[in-house]
Amino acid sequence: MASTVSRLPGKFVWFEQVSNDIAKARAFYQQLFGWHVESMPMGDKTYYMIQNGDKGIGGLRTAEPGMPNHWISYMSVDNVDKSFARATANGAKATLPPTDFPTVGRGAGLTDPTGANFCLWTSLDGDAPDVEKAPFGSWVWNELWTPDVKRALAFYEGTFGYTHDVMNVGEQGDYFILKTGDKSRGGVFQTPDAATPPMWMPYVHVEDCDASAAKATKLGAKVFMPPTEVAGVGRFAAMFDPLGAAVAIIRPQPLSS
């Protein structure tokens, strides 16, 4: 009997840095988060698997010539082809058509109607279950920085079935939380100015936000959002790594008992 796999559509299940200097990215992240990076042959290329402890959580992939360094997020879907067709019909642009990746799954790449890149993914092994408290060094959140929140919400809800909650964050206005059922999957945030490119920015769980931000700076990152406390959420910071890719860190506020 074939075994069944569990999928969590709408969950971001993989994060990958597209990098023009794998060695530099590897050195930075291994020192900052204690990650271990394994080299894996994939056909005539090499893929660099990021491990947090003994768990694979993402990868480093060589960028095409001229492509800027960036993190790309993979959204779980039940059917890549159907979701890809629906996304492009709703205004997304294709960056990679639905493609099989032997032994691991099927994926596709898109740019949403507001300009942010992301990928669709259906893993052959299914998705890791949600946990109440993620280990330090693992991904815990994903955030869309967009110049058009209204258009972004319409696209992600109309295409992938998300709903959303609204949270007021003071001077920065409203923050929108994408949900599947009662589970929060990601945030949507209005970019502060036209110079900020649309992007999905992933968050890493850290034990001490201030110490991690300071360490990142010493390792060559540029912290553009210093450690900041958000009531009811936690303490976070955001940075450009030494290659210019945006990534954030957070120490979530402990759950009340």
Where in the chain are the domains? 12-123, 139-252
Nearest-angstrom CA–CA distance, 126 and 149:
31
Task: Check pLDDT > 60 for residue 3.
Answer: no
pLDDT confidence bin for 39, thresholds 50/70/90: very high
What pTM value is reported for the model?
0.94
- Residue in the block written with tokens 């540029």: 222
Mean pLDDT on 157-184: 92
Ranges of H-type helices in the chain:
22-33, 80-89, 149-160, 209-218
Q: Which amino acid is at 47?
A: Y
Q: What is the CATH number of domain 139-252?
A: 3.10.180.10
The reply to whether 139-252 shares the fold of 12-123 is: yes
Q: How confident is the model at residue 170 (pLDDT cuts 50, 70, 90)?
A: confident
- Distances in Å between the alpha carbon of 58 and those of 4, 83, 92, 134, 151? 23, 22, 24, 15, 29
Rounded-to-5 percentages of helix, strand, coil across the chain? 20, 45, 35
**Mean pLDDT, residues 198-221 taken together:** 98
> Who's near 135: CB < 8 A, 6+ residues apart?
52, 53, 55, 205
CATH (residue range 12-123)? 3.10.180.10
pLDDT at 129: 93
